[in-house]
Chain A
Amino acid sequence: MTATRALDGLVLAALALFPLVAPGYLDLGTRMVILALCAMSLDLLVGYCGLVMLGHAAFFGVGAYAAGIFALRGWNEPLVGLVVGAAAGALLALASGAVLLRTRRLTLIVLSLATVLVVQEAANEMPWLTGGADGLQGIAMGPVAGMFAFDLLGRVSYVYAALVLALSFLVFRTVIDSTYGQSLIGIRENEARMHAIGAPVDARLRTAFVISATLAGLAGALQAQVAEFVALNAVSVEFSGEILVMLILGGAGRRYGALVGAPLYVFMQDYLAREDPTNWYLWVGLMLLAIVFFAPGGLTAWIGNLARRMRPVHA
Chain B
Amino acid sequence: MPEPLLELRGVSKRFGPLEVVRNVSLSLDRGARRALIGPNGAGKTTLVNLISGRLAPTAGDVWLTGRLVTRMPEARRVKAGLGRTFQITNLFRRLTIEENIALAVAEHMGAAGRLWPAGAVRARIEARVAEIMALLHLTAHAGRPVEVLPYGIQRMGELALALALEPKVLLLDEPAAGVPRGEVGLIFDAIARLPPDMAVLLIEHDIDVVFRFASRVTVLVAGQVYAEGTPPEIGEHAGVRALYLGDARHG
Contacts and interface: CB of A to CB of B under 8 A. Distances in A.
Which of the listed residues B90, B95, B103, B161 has the most CB atoms from chain A within 10 Å of its own CB? Answer: B103
A189 B95 contact: yes
Nearest to B99: A182
B117 A179 contact: yes
A268 B193 CA distance: 61
Given A197-B161, A198-B108, A198-B165, A174 B116 contact: yes
A204 interface: yes
B78 A197 contact: yes
B138 interface: no
A183 interface: yes
Which of the listed residues B73, B102, B107 has the most CB atoms from chain A within 10 Å of its own CB? Answer: B107
A204 B113 contact: yes
B114 A178 contact: yes
13 contacts: A178-B115, A178-B116, A178-B117, A179-B111, A180-B112, A182-B106, A183-B113, A196-B54, A197-B165, A198-B79, A198-B108, A200-B75, A203-B113
B9 interface: no
A197 B94 CA distance: 17
Given A178-B116, A178-B117, A198-B78, A190 B108 contact: no
B103 A197 contact: yes
Given A179-B125, A183-B103, A196 B95 contact: no
Interface in B171-217: none
Interface in B92-133: 92-95, 99, 102-104, 106-108, 111-117, 121-122, 125
B91 interface: yes
A190 B94 CA distance: 10
A180 B92 contact: no
Contacts of B92: 186, 189-190, 193
B154 interface: no
B84 interface: yes
B112 A199 contact: yes
A166 interface: no
A198 B116 contact: no
Nearest to B117: A179
Given A190-B90, A192-B90, A196-B90, A179 B78 contact: no
A275 B54 CA distance: 57
Interface residues of B, number: 36
Which of the listed residues A174, A194, A199 has the most CB atoms from chain B within 10 Å of its own CB? Answer: A199
Given A179-B121, A179-B125, A196-B52, 12 more contacts: A182-B99, A182-B102, A185-B95, A186-B95, A190-B90, A194-B75, A196-B54, A197-B78, A197-B107, A197-B108, A198-B78, A199-B103
B74 interface: yes
Contacts of B111: 179
Contacts of A72: none
B113 to A, nearest CB: 6
A195 B92 CA distance: 13
Interface string B64-77: 00000000011110
Contact of B93 (A178, A185, A189, A198): A189
A100 to B, nearest CB: 20
Interface string B50-69: 00101000000000000000
A193 B90 CA distance: 7
Interface in A119-175: 174-175
Contact of A199 (B86, B94, B107, B122): B107
A139 to B, nearest CB: 34
B95 A199 contact: no
Contacts of A200: 75, 113
The 8 closest A-B pairs by CB, nearest first: A198-B78, A189-B92, A183-B112, A197-B104, A195-B74, A186-B103, A179-B117, A179-B106
A129 to B, nearest CB: 35
A201 B111 CA distance: 14
